[in-house]
Chain A
């Protein structure tokens, strides 16, 4: 039996085709078949959120998603947040504010926080709102406050994109990254 599925989906704006068993976890498809190892496995039971990716714009635990249900989906992983070597405003805020320590939970947290900021566009979410959104992303190092600070700082920075260094740098590198890839990246 054990049929193999031809899975067509979009990862970080790029169409992908892989041949995988239908019940293979999206997490393993991304890591093993797509070579995108930014997405981590933590608990493997939907508790910790280390494996969080966006599926059609909303966060999901990729350890709980079978490949067969990713057919046609638009997936965004942590690799899709940066533009080439240039960190996104959110990623930069995590670096600058100490929102990351060991780094195991960071990819999942960035992806969930990215989705939150997409939703709150133009508004800086309050501490509580950030904490509720990130309740499914466990971090054992930071104690969370610096993560919350970083997310809110990124929201403030995104609100005033014309000013300041980060936005300008992101733009310059984006052009280079785009040229290198020969296309435009979706999901942002």
Chain B
């Protein structure tokens, strides 16, 4: 395996423009594999899987770093690490679910190297940041030699590990609109242990009650329960307009089972994931509004 590593080559771009040119030129044959913090790629490489012979090292590209606010939106550079996200004051204040998700990525060592752009590009249905970004209606900012392109998170995943990105496009940033005022945010990841596990089920949610006491905003996104990270549209519709109660909770749980399509795999099985998805949904609803536990 180590012998194989020594045969791999790396292109080291001067800046983002140069990186895009190199990537574009490579598409014709032997496409460069973009490399960020390496926390996914090196796991593959160390296990003997080689996704390509040549890599495009993005780590030094300053244009892809940093967290800032622009026109009310939070803009996170693609190379923003999960440590940066979990410690960022603005993220913690306005997007607590995102900070919570970042804090549950792997462990400290992984959070120091793993990047938001890399987590998205890896496109695993178990990607820890994906449910929150979906629930917050984030937008992925991609760029190629042809120019910039914005891809809403809702249309990012076409199928299992199939990202709506062109082969010569790079993710340069992710932007998140202002979090809906007064909406409660929630994130829960269920794994084998609290740290360093790949999720069996992950759920991100936003919930708000209107003046009439009925739910006027409900967003529920789940990871690890389908080929792609998904919005639970049926559960959301079951919640919208409902008065918080045990009956409303039960209706949302029933609807959720129609949204998800979990499988048996090495980490868990279908039945467990169906049960736990419902439990976590219920936990979210009760945390957001205690009356969801009341008859």
Contact = CB atoms under 8 A, between A and B. Distances in A.
Contacts of B57: 22, 66, 68-69
A47 interface: yes
A187 interface: no
A13 interface: no
Interface string A114-153: 0000000000000000001101100000000000000000
B194 to A, nearest CB: 7
A39 interface: no
Interface in A25-62: 25, 28, 44-47, 49, 52, 55, 58-61
A82 interface: no
A45 B46 CA distance: 7
A63 to B, nearest CB: 6
B8 A23 contact: yes
Contact of A46 (B12, B59, B109, B195): B109
B107 A66 contact: no
B7 interface: yes
A135 B5 contact: no
A172 interface: no
B9 interface: yes
Contact of B109 (A1, A44, A59): A59
A2 to B, nearest CB: 5
A3 interface: yes
A112 interface: yes
A44 B5 contact: no
A24 B39 contact: no
Interface in A1-25: 1-3, 5, 21-25
B93 interface: no
Nearest to B110: A46
Nearest to B59: A69
A58 B112 contact: yes
Nearest to A47: B196
B9 A2 contact: yes
5 contacts: A52-B109, A60-B109, A68-B57, A69-B57, A133-B108
